[in-house]
Structure 1
Amino acid sequence: MGEDGCKEKAPKDMKIIYVLIGVSAGFVCLLLGIILLYWDLKRRSQNKMKQKFFLQNGGHMLQEKLTTREASPDMVTICSSSVLEKATNSFHNNMIIGRGGFGTVYKGVLADARIVAIKRSIRMDPTQIEQFINEVVVLSQINHRNVVRLLGCSLETDVPLLVYEFINNGTLSSHLHNEAKAHALDWSTRLRIAAETAGVLSYLHSSASTPIIHRDVKPDNILLDHRLTVKVSDFGASKLVPIDLAQITTVVLGTLGYLDPEYMLTNQLTEKSDVYSFGVVLLELVTGRKALSFNRPIEENSLSNYFLYVLKEDLLVKIIDEKIVGLENMEQIYAICELAKECLNVKGEDRPSMKEVAMELEGLILRKKHSWATNVGDEEEMKSLIPNDHDGTSGVGYDSIGMDHIVLPIDGGR
């Protein structure tokens, strides 16, 4: 009897085990199904959110403009937001390399070890969207060795992101207005920086497929690499100008201290507005002073106004940066001051073009390199060193070719 009892219990125990295994397997399958469903819903939600942000950030508008202008796809690569988050350690504060009125710039390290600069807007409104799209469209038209390269953009987050090549030596402003760094900017370096910047602006105005007005020329937007080579940046305020238009009516946008007074009064933006701003940059290179400072006496607050005063009173030596003063430099320094004076004419029509400014600066550099020509009095040979256009003006050979703004709404602007 005892043996038969044991034999009867064994099948019952196996049945229980099979049931438990079946229930466990069913539970595991159910759990896996729930997890897969969750991840699928999450993926759909994320894709839906990315699509929402894409539309919110003007993605379709950007695509249309790029298609219309036949921009190079290499200039407007669409980057994944997750890649950029990883590159910046989720946009950690330790990765911040710059801040401005419109956004924060982060240093990022991509998976292939490339170092990039990622510009992230602080907030996003219709004006910001327009400037973001504008910067992408403008930079897609530019191919110049002295312009910072746009590597890509991302539209998948609450605010759009722009990815640039990383320029490791800061802005011209950070060098000019730092006592230690300013000593490294000797006169030859400053003159070359002026010439390279002028070359970029001349290209934008005269040689780009569609003429471009930068509209915010200042040392904060002139980056320097490890060789102190110029990389002009921040094209968010720039304007593409139809070839058949000489001027554009628009709201005043730029930075106080560099703004063209004629543009401020009339809302008429022209290429000569950049010329005025560049004239102020020339003054900063010569004087080492900021364009606008309320830490100076009232009459010296505006560098451009004070410069015109000391020039009239023949007191120019009073404001020249002592770090560049030297007998061998003074002739060129005075020539630059005279050029700055021309750029700062109140009437835009009285200012030289950026092409003429660039040629003048290149001419100064050539005359310095080939001073033997002037020493022997061979003026004709000297002139042959400076290229000329068929229209009688000099020409310069080019390659194919930060962020505190103020917007001043003026009645009539649109």
Structure 2
Amino acid sequence: MEERERPFLQNGSILLEDLISSCNGIYNPIGNFSIEEISIATNMYNFDRCCAFYVLYRGCLDDRPIIVKKFIGLVGEDELRSLAIRDMVIATQMSKHKNVLKLLGYCLEFPVPVLVLENAKNGALNDQGGFGANEYLPWKIRLQVAKELANALALLHPALSRPIIHRDIRPNSVFLDHDFVPKFSNFSLTITIPPDQSHAIDTVKGDLWYLDPTYRYSRSVTQKSDVYSFGMFLLVLLAGERPMYDTTEKYERHPVLNDKLTEIVDPKLSSEGGEDGKAQQIGSFLKLASACSQKTSEARPDMIDVAKELTRIEKSL
């Protein structure tokens, strides 16, 4: 009991302190589960997949499918705890949004808190812009995913008491439910913009493939940093593969660098067939992805304008 109470009290006090500082203690109610409940729910940790700093397990709790997120990694326990609690703090505030993977609860009895999330039947997107084992996503679904996620990001930036920058926008951070509704997750790298400021200074964090060049060189994080990452995410949806780097310019995007954006469009989209005007939609989508992923932040649109343009593109047929 003492071994459980110590991390429970430590994690609980840190979590409460962060909740009070970030949202004045006002957040969506979530459950508190024991180690036994987590172990039984996951059938002794039924492995699903592993990412950079966490492992996901699938299970069932109170007859409801769940995902259990356990933070692990080569970094110290204190840093892992910080990542887990940050994830929880933001998720509790955003869980009511239909495009956010709902946080159902947590277990504070582990040295590093464990998160309990709703299950998304179709799992996370992959770096081929599909889901599962290279499953193909039709154009209509890709466009819907992009539009709904843009709306969610447009809300995340200004919705809370202070703007929140996600910093981890990539396929692995997006889950699809049974109706292919996209849901953001992984809020552990989010950062808050200080009051009366347009940016925050921090060490460089995030997936290099999707990292804003301005942030990488200056350590200055802005809302436009998420716009850049989202632009690269749009390119993955369009190309059906992860963006590539030029071998001579390690930190530049290969397709954009060589002005060959039109060559990255997934050929399966052409063979898919569909409504008249789809080619025009794809062209507009490609133009928007290019605008979002410009090297300089000033050249990128705001996320609210990205969301409006994706809505326009979807309605253009």
Both proteins in one fold, TM over 0.5: yes
The alignment status of 1:346 with 2:298, answered yes or no, reads no
The alignment status of 1:232 with 2:195, answered yes or no, reads no
Local SS of the residue matching 1:171 = coil
Equivalent-residue separation in structure 1 for 2:262 and 2:243 (angstroms): 18
| Aligned pairs (5 A) from 1:267-306 | 267-292=219-244, 298=247, 305-306=253-254
Equivalent-residue separation in structure 1 for 2:4 and 2:87 (angstroms): 21
- Indicate if the aligned counterparts of 2:103 and 2:118 stay in contact, CA closer than 8 A: yes
The alignment status of 1:362 with 2:311, answered yes or no, reads yes
In structure 2, stretches of 5+ residues that fail to align are none
Equivalent-residue separation in structure 2 for 1:338 and 1:241 (angstroms): 29
Cα distance, 1:180 vs structure 2: 7.4
Partner of 2:53: 102
Cα distance, 1:292 vs structure 2: 4.1
Equivalent-residue separation in structure 2 for 1:279 and 1:292 (angstroms): 14
Partner of 1:318: 263
The alignment status of 1:115 with 2:65, answered yes or no, reads yes
Equivalent-residue separation in structure 1 for 2:131 and 2:20 (angstroms): 44
TM-score (norm 1): 0.69
- Indicate if the aligned counterparts of 2:77 and 2:112 stay in contact, CA closer than 8 A: no
Amino acid at match of 2:256: L
Local SS of the residue matching 1:147 = coil
Local SS of the residue matching 2:126 = helix
Local SS of the residue matching 1:129 = helix
Equivalent-residue separation in structure 2 for 1:189 and 1:147 (angstroms): 17
Equivalent-residue separation in structure 2 for 1:225 and 1:157 (angstroms): 29
Equivalent-residue separation in structure 2 for 1:172 and 1:215 (angstroms): 17
Equivalent-residue separation in structure 1 for 2:238 and 2:297 (angstroms): 23
Equivalent-residue separation in structure 2 for 1:144 and 1:177 (angstroms): 23
- Indicate if the aligned counterparts of 1:263 and 1:273 stay in contact, CA closer than 8 A: yes
Local SS of the residue matching 1:115 = strand
Local SS of the residue matching 1:254 = coil
- Indicate if the aligned counterparts of 1:135 and 1:236 stay in contact, CA closer than 8 A: yes
Amino acid at match of 1:308: V
Partner of 1:307: 255
Local SS of the residue matching 2:265 = coil
- Indicate if the aligned counterparts of 1:177 and 1:290 stay in contact, CA closer than 8 A: no
Equivalent-residue separation in structure 2 for 1:179 and 1:235 (angstroms): 22
Local SS of the residue matching 1:170 = coil
| Aligned pairs (5 A) from 1:186-201 | 186-201=138-153
Partner of 2:116: 163
Q: In 2 relative to 1, CA 121–179 (structure 1 residues): closer, same or farther, beyond 3 Å? A: closer
Q: In 2 relative to 1, CA 366–264 (structure 1 residues): closer, same or farther, beyond 3 Å? A: same
Equivalent-residue separation in structure 2 for 1:114 and 1:354 (angstroms): 34
Amino acid at match of 1:360: E
Cα distance, 1:309 vs structure 2: 3.8
What do you get for the CA RMSD once the two structures are aligned?
2.4
Partner of 1:49: 3
Give CA-to-partner distance per residue, 1:176-220, whole Å, 9 cap, x none.
35797543x221111111101111111101233432110010011
Q: In 2 relative to 1, CA 226–77 (structure 1 residues): closer, same or farther, beyond 3 Å? A: same
Cα distance, 1:74 vs structure 2: 4.3
The alignment status of 1:77 with 2:39, answered yes or no, reads no
- Indicate if the aligned counterparts of 1:117 and 1:165 stay in contact, CA closer than 8 A: yes
Q: In 2 relative to 1, CA 116–144 (structure 1 residues): closer, same or farther, beyond 3 Å? A: same
Give CA-to-partner distance per residue, 1:24-57, whole Å, 9 cap, x none.
xxxxxxxxxxxxxxxxxxxxxx1x111222245x
- Indicate if the aligned counterparts of 1:141 and 1:209 stay in contact, CA closer than 8 A: no
- Indicate if the aligned counterparts of 1:74 and 1:151 stay in contact, CA closer than 8 A: no
Of Structure 1 and Structure 2, which has the larger fraction of its residues in helix?
Answer: 1
Amino acid at match of 2:284: A
Equivalent-residue separation in structure 2 for 1:109 and 1:150 (angstroms): 14
| Higher mean C-alpha displacement, 58-67 vs 244-253 | 58-67
The alignment status of 1:90 with 2:44, answered yes or no, reads yes
Amino acid at match of 2:18: K
Cα distance, 1:280 vs structure 2: 0.5
Equivalent-residue separation in structure 1 for 2:297 and 2:199 (angstroms): 11
Amino acid at match of 1:171: A
Partner of 1:147: 100
Local SS of the residue matching 1:66 = helix
- Indicate if the aligned counterparts of 2:28 and 2:93 stay in contact, CA closer than 8 A: no
The alignment status of 1:127 with 2:61, answered yes or no, reads no
Equivalent-residue separation in structure 2 for 1:211 and 1:75 (angstroms): 22
Q: In 2 relative to 1, CA 333–257 (structure 1 residues): closer, same or farther, beyond 3 Å? A: same
Please say which structure displays the higher CA radius of gyration: 1
Amino acid at match of 1:235: F
Amino acid at match of 1:319: I
Equivalent-residue separation in structure 2 for 1:223 and 1:163 (angstroms): 15
